[in-house]
Structures are given as structure tokens and as C-alpha cells.
Chains A and B, each alone.
Chain A
Amino acid sequence: MKILGRATAVTGALLAALLPALVWAQDAPVPNKGDTAWMLTSTALVLLMSVPALGLFYGGLVRSKNMLSVLMQVFVSFSLITVLWCVYGYSFAFTTGNAFFGSADRLFLNGTFVDGVFSLGATFSKATPMYELVFVAFQATFAAITCCLILGSLVERIKFSGILLFIVLWFTFSYIPVAHMVWFWAGPDAYTDQAAADAATATAGLIWQWGALDFAGGTVVHINSGVAGLVGAIIIGKRIGYGKEAMPPHSLTMTMVGASMLWFGWFGFNAGSALEANGSAALAFMNTYLATACAVLTWIGAEWLLKGKPSMLGAASGAVAGLVAITPAAGNVGIQGAFVIGLGVGVVCFWGCTGLKKMIGADDALDVFGVHALGGIFGALMTGIFNAPSLGGPGYVEWIGLTQAYGGIGAQFWIQLKAVALVVVWTAVVAAISFLIVKLTVGLRVTEEEEREGLDISAHGERAYTA
């Protein structure tokens, strides 16, 4: 999971000094009502990011004959993963197991609410628990939107049954283990002395043990889905007429509305990842706000300079690129970091969707790789640099004494690089195998006739727009 910032550590220390009477007067600490309210709100905000925001953002970019198919794929994938999350996803992602998977302890959310008693989970402050069900719901929305992101690479030719089967496979063998590797740990209360700390760290996920920083999902969400999308685009092949026929977006108005709602919902995604309504959440909130605005300006700036005109699609794409890149960094860098990450990623992802896309040559229809994978990688690596207290970052917390610690820019950058590389390879392999399984069983692609007619009619028997 994510690391406390300096401000939070100080607050924690202050609280520990001021409130012992309060805390120890009770048998055990209970969740803070303000934290609970914030996290429930954040969870609903992340849901909004998928349905409707991502649906509209993606839907506006396809031709009108495929509008409903995109909305359906997002809507149904989101629902499917939410169900699977409660059946087994949460359990294998967020319970103690080995360094790659959790265990079956929480199948069907078993044990989270028993005889009127709620189980409690950890936050990033000692003696500050949260209702485990709040964490389950919050993380469910992350798993679900991550799977929906992949759809962008495959739209306008993917078979509906094929995408559902793929998502089940990929969620199980890539999302769950990557989430476990990056985010699962025992929580701060386990870190009482060195021996206890070593024992606690040994139960954490592999990438957490390495010390990689990923505040809200640069690796887990964006690199994971972006690379899977590219693999899918290569395996499924190009849309009929790609590069020969014009395939302009059918409604950039909807794309703009979707991108704006993503920006709004992303406050829940990033600031909510603090798991508490505290200074770390405030830092994540401001960084998310600022980096996004920066990326809008640099994307359209690059476009204006190199292609002649600043476009609405460029502004919307820049916003999403900024949001992606600041995700791993949100509460892990200071304002300086947000400026650099936002300004940088606008140009990086612009190149990802133009120059790099031509070099790769795949029909990654809505640029999931160019925006999410590339933006996620850029953000994850920059997090390693701008986490440094010397560059305005919070550093990270040594959990026993809650003091600020930092291993050096070079060391942290190397850890981030290793984390990125492992996730890229992991998701690429899982995605390739999963897509091939789908191809050999239910099939990945619709027939040429169905593709020409449009998936709205051929797959769902309805039309988005009737005159």
C-alpha cells in the first residue's frame, strides 16, 4: 500500500503525544467517523470514474455504430469484476498468503461482518483502524476500473463473450497478484520493534517488500492494464479499414464530459488512497489537481507546435495522461514533483499516441498503451525521484518510530524501475496467454460482416442514436 508523508508522520506523532488518555481509555481503537465518511465518498467517486466517465470518454472516441458496445463493455465488465471481487478477488489480493497471492480467508467476504461485529483493517496511522468493508468496497472499484481500461485497445471488433472471458482470466492471474505484490502489507500497528517489523514485512507482497512506492496504482492499475491492452491489440489485429478508412471520433463532446468526470472522480481514487481524511489526502488531492492541469497545457502545447492546432481531444487526453502519471506519485511527492510530472507527461504521452504508436504499428484503438502504460511508467519512475525530501517530497516512513526515512534518489529509482519491469512482464505474459485461450475457445473477434455493421446492432441488437 501507500506510504505516509512527512506531514502525516508528524500528525501521527502529535496525536500519539496528545491522545494517549483517549486511546488507552478504551479497549481498542475504533474507526474515525470522518475517515469513514471520506472513504465511502471516495469509493463512490471511483465508481463514477468507470460508469459513466470512462464509458463516455471511450464511447465518444468510437464511431456511432459502436457506441453502445463500448458502454456495455464498460458497464458489464465493471459489474462482473465487482462480483468476482467479493467472491474471491479481495481475499486473494488482500489477505496474508505468500509474496504473490493472499489466501482464501475472505472468500465471499467471509468474516468481515459477523454477529453484528465489523472486522477492522489497517490504515497508514498507528491505532487508526478502518472498517474492512470500506476497504473492500474501495478496492473493488479499483479492480473493476482497471479491467475496464483494457477495453479501449480492443473496441470496435472485440466479441462480447470474448472480452468477458478474457477479463475473468486476466483479473484472476494479473490484477489480483499485482495488487497483492504492490499493496499488501500487515499495517503499521505490527511494527513495534525491529523483530516484529521484520516478521511483518516478510508477510507483505513482493514489491512492497522491495520498498516500491505506488500511492494509488501506477503499476497496479495503469501499467498493468496498459500493457495488457497493447498485447490484446496485437493479438486481435487491426480494425477493418484501419489506416485506409477514416474513423474519426463520433462525439468529442462526450469524450470531454467523460474526461472531466474522470478528473473529478480521480480525487477519490488518489486522495482516497490515503485511506484517511488527513494531510496525506490533502497532498494527494492538490497534486492530482495540479498535475492534470499541467498535462493539459503541455499536451495541447506540443500539438499546437508540432501539428498546427490545439485540439479538444488533445486537452482531454492530456488531462487523462496527467491523472495517470500522478497516480503513483499523488501522496508520495511534493508540489514540485506534481509540476514536473504533470508538465512532463503531457509531452511523453503525446509522443506515445503519435510517434511511438506509429513505430509499434498496432491498432491500440483508444491509446490505452500510449496513455496508461506510458503515463504510468513515467509517473512510477518520477515518484522514485520526487519522493526525495531534498526535492520537496515527503520521503517515506520508518514504521517503528514513525520517523522520516529516505534511501536516496538512485536507490529508490532503481526499486521503482524493478517494480515497473516486473509488472510489465507479468501482465504481458498473463494477457498473452489469456487472449490466446479466448481466441481458441469462445473467439476474440466478431465476423467481418458484424464489424462492418457495427457492434451495437450485431452484438446487442440496439442503436445508440435513432433519428
Chain B
Amino acid sequence: MKLISAVIKPFKLEDVRQALAEAGVQGMTVTEVKGFGRQKGHTELYRGAEYSVDFVPKTKIEAAVPDSLVEQAVEAIISAAGTGSIGDGKVFVFDLDHAVRIRTGETGDAAL
């Protein structure tokens, strides 16, 4: 099992959700986050006060998938979230030790 964690542009969330569903991913968790990478922030000006906003709003999605699905899922995210411009985001893949479905007590791939 792997845990896929991807940071994407917020307006790409719906496209990514659809692509992952088509790839067979059963569920995901979404968080609104802020951060910075190579994309620069912006400045805000309120009368004389100038503030630079370094952290850009992003959306983080997390999905746990069986090993067999990892490659397709990552591919789905990349093609759905990509615009070709700076700030498209990143995908991280982690090993996942254990998973339990709370309702039934199922574990491992069956819990995903």
C-alpha cells in the first residue's frame, strides 16, 4: 500500500478527483493549505501599508491506494493537475504500513 500526497492548484481539484476516480481510486482526503515553492507570492497594498504574501493557497489531496494502482493514480494526478506553468504543484508517494476500515475491521488492501 502507498499513500499519495499531492499539492495542487485549488481550481484543479475537481479535475483531479474525476481522474483519480476513473483510475479506480476509491476515496481521498482534501485539505486547503498554504505554501510556497518556485512560484512567488504576491504583494498586497492597503493605503500606505505593503504586505508581501509569500504563502500561496493550495489544495492538498491524500489518497491511500494498493500497490497495483500507484502508477496509474500518479499519472492521473499529473495529467489532470498540469497546466504547464509554474506552481502546478507536486506529488509525493509514501509507503503505508497499515490500514483499517473502522466499520468492519477489515485491514490492508481490503480496507482501502
Contacts and interface: CB of A to CB of B under 8 A. Distances in A.
A450 B48 CA distance: 26
A372 B49 CA distance: 18
A248 B51 contact: yes
Nearest to A350: B47
A24 to B, nearest CB: 58
A214 interface: no
A313 B48 contact: no
A367 B47 contact: yes
A313 B47 contact: yes
B31 to A, nearest CB: 16
Among B44, B46, B47, B49, which residue has the most Cβ atoms of chain A within 10 A? B47
Interface string B31-48: 000000000000011111
Contacts of A307: 45
B51 A309 contact: no
A354 B47 contact: yes
A246 B51 contact: yes
B48 A354 contact: yes
Nearest to A242: B49
Contacts of A358: 48
A247 B44 CA distance: 11
B46 A249 contact: yes
B48 A248 contact: no
Nearest to B50: A307
Nearest to A358: B48
B47 A317 contact: yes
A307 B44 CA distance: 11
A44 interface: no
Interface in B26-77: 44-49, 51, 53
Contacts of A355: 48
Contacts of A314: 47
B45 A311 contact: yes
A37 B46 CA distance: 41
Contacts of A246: 51, 53
A307 B48 CA distance: 10
Contacts of B47: 313-314, 317, 353-354, 357, 367, 370
A357 B47 CA distance: 10
Contacts of B51: 246-248
22 contacts: A246-B51, A246-B53, A247-B49, A248-B44, A248-B46, A248-B49, A249-B46, A307-B45, A309-B45, A311-B46, A313-B46, A313-B47, A314-B47, A317-B47, A353-B47, A353-B48, A354-B47, A354-B48, A355-B48, A357-B47, A358-B48, A367-B47
Given A248-B51, A353-B47, A357-B47, 17 more contacts: A246-B51, A247-B49, A248-B46, A248-B49, A307-B45, A309-B45, A311-B46, A313-B46, A314-B47, A317-B47, A353-B48, A354-B47, A357-B48, A358-B48, A367-B47, A367-B48, A370-B47
